Amino acid sequence: MFLQGKTALITGSTSGIGLGYARALAAEGAKVMINGFGDTEGIKENVIHLQQLSGTGAAYSDADMTKPDQIRAMIADCSRELGSPDILINNAGIQHVAPVDEFPEDKWDAVLAIILSSAFHTTKAALPAMKKAGWGRVINTGSMHSLVASPYKSAYNAAKHGLAGFTKTIALEVATQGITVNCICPGYVWTSLVENQIPDTMKARGLTREQVINDVLLANQPQKKFVQVDQLAALALFLCRDEASAITGTNLSVDGGWTAQ
């Protein structure tokens, strides 16, 4: 339980990768605030489960990552209810798949706001307490699309590349203050975010569901299997350890070999 006494805030953690991070951190004793959308009963059950795992506190914020005032309120609520975040994981994300000349403006704005601008607003609000404590971990969920591109994902690729640059910049700014800032860059992980983009990809490329899975999603993932949420959670936990204190400003690929090509 090496995270006893620490507080973690994870954006976009009502499902998928974020919930995996939350469970792993709680199992090591961290107080965890989760965030995101979803059915109220399911979220309540997740908070109770996280409380049981950590043996201390857990909480939920329904802050919308497109709304800077709600993001600032979430950090304040976390500080009041569980303590100021020692570990901040910027994980919320959405996807939209369309050729750029047909890309809806509102989708562009939403993808950029949720993936990139929200990380700026959370980090800005959370860093002062980390600096005061002389310890902190900021972990951003990037993507292989932080490092390389695929067609029809202009907003997502732009936001995730932006997040990679943001990670490096903040790591340099706080390098001497006991705070590390890193970006975990997964290949395809089987979560609702991936499942939900299948219909649009079928439409954009004129393919069947099986063709999208095998010929698009896994086509460039050399291991030919989806990355597991637990593998990402294990890396996030390692980044929180003292042994990882020299790892900062990195974009760490967990992509089955995708970006080796």
Only one of the segments 10-18, 100-108, 200-208, 242-250 lies at the binding site for ligand NAD (rule: CB under 6 A); that segment is 10-18
Alpha carbon distances (Å) from 192 to 95, 151, 212: 11, 20, 15
Question: Which residue among the candidates 21, 60, 152, 156 is catalytic per the annotation?
Answer: 156
Q: Indicate which single residue of 7, 15, 54, 251 sits in contact with ligand NAD (rule: CB under 6 A).
A: 15
Give the list of residues 6+ apart from residue 113 with CB closer than 8 angstroms, or none. Answer: 65, 66
CA distance 223 to 164: 24
Dihedral pair phi/psi, residue 165, rounded to 5°: -70, -40
CB atoms within 10 A of CB 27: 18
Q: Applying CB under 6 A, does 162 fall inside the site for ligand NAD? A: no
User: Between residues 91 and 251, which has the closer beta carbon with respect to ligand NAD?
Assistant: 91
Q: Applying CB under 6 A, does 191 fall inside the site for ligand NAD? A: yes
**Is 188 tagged catalytic?**
no
CA distance 132 to 130: 5
Task: Please report the beta strands in 133-242, taking only residues with DSSP state E, as ranges in sequence order.
Answer: 136-141, 179-186
- The nearest distance, CB 127 to ligand NAD, in angstroms, is 20
Task: Please check whether residue 50 is in contact with residue 34, taking contact to mean a CB–CB distance below 8 angstroms.
Answer: yes
CB atoms within 10 A of CB 154: 18
What six digits make up the tokens of 203? Answer: 């439409």
User: Between residues 1 and 62, which has the closer beta carbon with respect to ligand NAD?
Assistant: 62
Only one of the segments 165-173, 190-198, 199-207, 238-246 lies at the binding site for ligand NAD (rule: CB under 6 A); that segment is 190-198
Only one of the segments 75-83, 86-94, 130-138, 244-252 lies at the binding site for ligand NAD (rule: CB under 6 A); that segment is 86-94
Q: Applying CB under 6 A, does 26 fall inside the site for ligand NAD? A: no
| Identity of residue 41 | E
- The nearest distance, CB 50 to ligand NAD, in angstroms, is 14
CA distance 219 to 221: 6
Task: Please check whether residue 219 is in contact with residue 205, taking contact to mean a CB–CB distance below 8 angstroms.
Answer: no
Q: Applying CB under 6 A, does 136 fall inside the site for ligand NAD? A: no
Only one of the segments 12-20, 79-87, 99-107, 169-177 lies at the binding site for ligand NAD (rule: CB under 6 A); that segment is 12-20
- The nearest distance, CB 133 to ligand NAD, in angstroms, is 26
User: Between residues 37 and 238, which has the closer beta carbon with respect to ligand NAD?
Assistant: 37
**Catalytically active residues, by annotation:** 156
> Using CB under 6 A as the criterion, which residues of the chain lie in contact with ligand NAD when the complex forms?
12-18, 35-38, 64-66, 91-94, 114-115, 141, 143, 186, 188-189, 191-194
